[in-house]
Structure 1
């Protein structure tokens, strides 16, 4: 359409300068009519959907220009309209580039081992336990575990962090990462449809199809602006008797910054947050994020790593730390408990050689006992292991234990052998992230945990939150949110577990920690942190505030300039052709300003 309008304008102008005025009018008319016809067809389609937009003004101005014998003005409007549409499409594409880049990284096939042979298969055929070969430069198709000495991955698409990540044998590797080191084998842990990156892709597709409340508000105001345009054009004609003034008013109002600036700014802001690892599901959630004043944060997996780690080993006299850990980890090979996994991970880090356990009996949630190197060994809670003792005491090892620590007791042949201290450590960036949230405008931060109240209080004191409470069930977290919202505060809930899903759904802004978090929490939340860290959230709040400010600036300034130009046209100071050119300058300025949200 732009090419047609430009060709008609160029030929008509050349004919006019060479003295063929009548033929020039015909060229300008031919340069306008196809654009007008396409626009009318587009209006009919949108009317069938029940939508009425400012495209009607463009159609009115082109039709009026042809009817009033002003084909040059009509051709200029056609050129400006089609050029504006092209510019808007370009701007929207530029705004979506970060999210589009995420979609473009989806792997389609994978190399799977079938015995000793490799076959290329579609990723939909991958099952948990399949062994895949990941080649240099390939994107990991599914989540899995490294089955090699190490793997060097670029995880910038997930985290926004450009520094390569080195993963050791057995470490979890996320789909969407790119292999930048030597080829390695990956053991799939879940199907492609349930992988981290597949979840991200679904969220991105939903985000791209959404429409922000501010954009819907713009549509409503656009109807008012359309009515104002028609009334002003009619009044200008009625009072002056000059139909060209009415035409000039219509031309100047084509199109309106209101419907250009808001969607471009909102999509730009969503793309900008995606670049730092924060996926906002829709434009409405980005707007709500800009208004948040209170944050309610879960502890486990949000302010802490969410996984118990061995922080200290306390052996009995004459026994080494490695002896304690090796014996406990050897027995725990027979257990699927999360604490057993932590002990095995610590033993692997120390490169300890484990012995096979025999005659193992496990009491769920308490501990287990069996034979290790022909010696009876018991591992579990202190109360469980103390019940297995025939003499001795753990008391010498229990002094000065951290408040938030979990202890695993080990006994051998009925005698105390040692204690292992585990803690779910506070994230290194937690305090800095909370300070950044306050700097971004939050005035109240609450720690709400299902863990013991004394542990929640200790963590809350360490981090300097406004209020801490522990021992909560899912319904208790919901009650806290209701209470905070009753104080007319916009509340953000941050969590990562299934038990957080009800609170995430109730909050004005629900934030799920990490794409690996429970599926229920990711579905209930309006925002998903693609990286397992809090730091990007404060940046996202700042981006949301700036995006809304830029959108409003564009609308207010653009509408002000358009209204001023319309009044000037109604008073006869702005002819139709010059009005069309001025309006295009306003539109370009508005779109360029909206794209500032990308920076």
Structure 2
């Protein structure tokens, strides 16, 4: 059987031509059997020459192109297990075993059609995604809604997604309250609530309420489109795992020829030589590994993991050092209010209410964290007046007759010395100071909180996935990096690192052992490229995604664990199919060498082995009950 088009050897024929040869071979075999076993009883003049004429046609039209390709490959010093097919065809013609030779032609040409079917089966989920994408979107402008082609949608457009429709682009909800089913993209079997400000994904199925969505990414740049490009990108690359078939074939081919020659020499019957080669041709390892690989890429895409370089699926299982960036990887990538130290004479709820009421008018990155804390505490914001944000003063305003100021510790010199004296000790991290009527009302401390799954994930890497070391390499201050490391259980910390320093650390570690680096910022791109496996989190940077071998669209560590398990499952299934197929072929070769399996029966036996190998490889496209173990 031949290999995928992207990995085709010099002997490979175009797929359509292979299908035509397979159809011709089937037709010729059918005519041969009819002429030999049915017409022979009605037409006494029917002779073996007439019976074999259709088989000779099949061997001429199908076998000669194969043999020509083999000769060209041999001239280049390149050949694989297809060489066994060529020898089998030539031997069958010399020995006048035309039926056996035609069956070999059928197996080789039919392999292309069988593999194409297997690839389509493995990527059935992606095909379903392509079929579900809407052709038009409902654009809202000036109070009117009009249908536009998907390629006419622009960033910033307001689109209406009606009940039970598929969202055509990534965006943000502007109007409406409802829910969306994102299971096709995330694999999570529940609907996600959508309110104004919530992000929506292309390909998600809307619930029972209409939503108005602002387009944040063109449909061609959406998550949906990225998933659809997975198969094309994967098929254009041939990682080392796929060459495992070549490595095994380099041993298998001479063994098969040696067994065939020995059978001929011992028995003196050249049919034994042909029978052995027919059983050994073609080797199932040539198709099982690529089919399993494509199934793994498809499965990863279903789990919101984009495999940009299929070699990742082989290499990640060999990595023994995990290197993490901090922000957005081990943390959520946004600050949250970690602590509110209240000044003398003030109430915590009152201070948080005043700050949140003022921060509603600010675009400062910490404003969202304050508002989230107020919402979590079920506090209602108040109206503010005279709001201003002058340089050197921070955010100021009047709320309920009280003048409120939110500023930093560094902006306090020149104010009341009692305020400065009452400040709590300075610690690492982000901080805001709140003054109410020039009195210290509180100090707010913010941190980029560790992911909830961080500590158990880090702890299980060594126990379940044989990682020897885990490193944290961050550009943040040492106090912030060490705080996070203590929270998740990492002991090797490199803080305050520039992109160049990160790159040097990754290169040094990779020289000693295979590494996997995880990051989400543009400054992580060099390190992602230098690591054995680079994994980008989220879609914050196109540069980072291009540098990585895999992209985790749902930025969670659980997806990294799923990738590790997909890789482990891929290697197991690929080796099962390839080595299992070879083992069964060797059993058949021994039977053929002993005279128990004639050439025609051997060809049928080998075809059954190929089908079993492909069916086993197809299991890779279907996930087990769980892809995580922590």
**Same fold? TM cut 0.5:** yes
Structure 1 counterpart of 2:4? none
Contact 1:213 1:283 in 2 (8 A): no
| Larger displacement relative to structure 2 (426-435 or 167-176) | 167-176
Instruction: Choose which of 442, 456, 461 in structure 2 pairs with 1:418.
Output: 442
Kept in 2, the 8 Å contact 1:73–1:576? The answer is yes
Q: Deviations over 1:211-243 (max 9, x none)?
A: 221223434654675566667767866887654
Partner of 1:389: 415
Q: Is the 8 A contact 2:176 2:212 kept in 1?
A: no
Give the corresponding residue for 2:285.
258
Tell me the distance in 2 between the aligned counterparts of 1:288 and 1:7.
Answer: 45
Give unmatched runs, 5+ long, in structure 1: none
1:559 corresponding residue in structure 2:
582
TM-score of the two chains, using structure 1 as the length reference: 0.86
Q: Who is 1:213 aligned against?
A: 240
With over 3 angstroms needed to count, the CA separation of the structure-2 counterparts of 1:332 and 1:86, relative to structure 1, is same
Does the residue aligned with 2:108 lie in a helix, a strand or coil?
helix
Q: Judging changes above 3 Å, is the alpha-carbon distance between structure 1 residues 143 and 351 closer, same or farther for their aligned structure 2 residues?
A: farther
SS at match of 1:176: coil
Q: Cα 1:85–1:200, aligned 2, differ >3 Å: closer, same or farther?
A: closer
Conserved 8 A contact 2:92-2:101: yes
Task: For 1:49 and 1:132, locate their aligned partners in 2 and report how far apart those are by CA, in whole Å.
Answer: 58
* Residue among 4, 12, 33 paired with 2:32: 12
CA distance in 1, matches of 2:602, 2:541: 56
Map of 2:389 onto structure 1? 360
Offset of 1:495 from its aligned partner? 0.8
Q: 1:436 aligns with which of 460, 466, 471?
A: 460
Question: What is the DSSP-based 3-state SS (H/G/I as helix, E as strand, rest coil) of the residue aligned with 1:85?
Answer: helix
Q: What is aligned with 1:445?
A: 470
The 3 A distance-change label for structure 1 pair 412 and 149 is: farther
Q: How far apart are the structure 2 equivalents of 1:47 and 1:189? A: 55
Q: Which residue of 1 aligns with 2:509?
A: 484
C-alpha separation in 2, matches of 1:42 and 1:331: 77
Other-structure match for 1:132: 159
* Greater alpha carbon shift after TM alignment, 189-198 vs 585-594: 189-198
Pick aligned residue for 1:97 from 124, 143, 161: 124
Contact kept in structure 1, 2:356 and 2:381, CA below 8 Å: no
Tell me, in whole angstroms, the C-alpha distance in 1 between the residues paired with 2:279 and 2:112.
16
1:138 positional shift: 3.0
Rounded to whole Å, the distance in 2 between the matches of 1:334 and 1:362 is: 16
How big is the shift at 1:380?
Answer: 2.6
Alpha carbons 2:585, 2:606 under 8 Å: kept: yes
Q: Aligned ranges for residues 501-512 of structure 1 at < 5 Å?
A: 501-512=525-536
State the TM-score, normalizing by the size of structure 2: 0.83
Q: CA 1:193/1:41 → structure 2, altered by over 3 Å: closer, same or farther? A: farther
Instruction: State the Cα distance separating 1:51 from its structure 2 match.
Output: 7.5
1:47-58 to 2 correspondences below 5 Å: 54-55=81-82, 57-58=84-85
| SS in structure 1 at match of 2:287 | helix
Residue matched to 1:576: 599
Partner of 2:185: 158
The equivalent residue for 1:465 is 490
Q: CA deviation at 1:541?
A: 1.3
Change (3 A) 1:150 1:309: farther
Query: Is it true that 1:593 corresponds to 2:619 in the alignment?
Result: no
- In 2: Cα distance, 1:340 partner to 1:547 partner: 46
User: In the alignment, does 2:97 pair up with 1:70?
Assistant: yes
Query: Does the 8 Å contact 2:384/2:398 carry over to 1?
Result: no
**Structure 1 residues 231-240 or 548-557, which shifts more?**
231-240
The Cα shift of 1:353 comes to: 4.7
Of 258-267 and 59-68, deviating more is: 59-68
Answer yes or no: is the 8 Å Cα contact 1:389–1:415 preserved in 2.
no
Please report the RMSD computed on the Cα atoms of aligned residues, expressed in angstroms.
Answer: 3.5
Q: What SS does the aligned partner of 1:16 have?
A: helix
- C-alpha distance in 2, partners of 1:93/1:39? 25
CA distance in 2, matches of 1:356, 1:191: 39
Kept after mapping to 2: 8 A contact 1:326/1:354: no
Q: 1:560 to 1:203 in 2, by over 3 A?
A: closer
User: Does the CA-based 8 Å contact 1:389-1:411 persist in structure 2?
Assistant: no
Partner in structure 2 of residue 522 of structure 1: 545
The partner residue of 1:179 within 206, 220, 224 is: 206
SS state at 1:383 partner: helix
Matches within 5 A, 1:13-32: 13-18=33-38, 19=40, 20=46, 22=48, 23-30=50-57
What is the distance in 1 between the residues matched to 2:217 and 2:64?
53
CA distance in 1, matches of 2:106, 2:253: 21
Shift of 1:110: 1.7
Please report how far the alpha carbon of residue 129 of structure 1 lies from its aligned counterpart in structure 2 after TM superposition: 2.6
The equivalent residue for 1:549 is: 572
2: CA distance, partners of 1:453 / 1:181: 49
**Structure 1 residues 305-358: Cα deviation after superposition (integer angstroms, max 9, x where no partner):** 110123444454565556544544555456443223433555566552553654
Structure 1 Cα separation of the partners of residues 147 and 70 of structure 2: 48
- Asked if the contact 1:29–1:71 (Cα under 8 Å) also holds between the matched residues in 2, the reply is yes
The 1:108/1:295 distance shift into structure 2, 3 A limit, reads farther
**Distance verdict in 2 for CA 1:457–1:91, change over 3 Å:** same
Question: What is the DSSP-based 3-state SS (H/G/I as helix, E as strand, rest coil) of the residue aligned with 1:290?
Answer: helix
Shift of residue 108, structure 1, vs aligned partner: 4.1
Aligned length: 592
Contact 2:509 2:515 survives alignment (8 Å): yes
Deviation at 1:184, TM superposition (A): 0.5
Contact kept in structure 1, 2:397 and 2:403, CA below 8 Å:
yes
Aligned to 2:137: 110
Residue in 1 that maps onto 2:7 = none
Q: What secondary structure is seen at the aligned counterpart in 2 of 1:421?
A: strand
Match of residue 519 from structure 2: 495
Distance 1:55 1:106, change over 3 A: farther
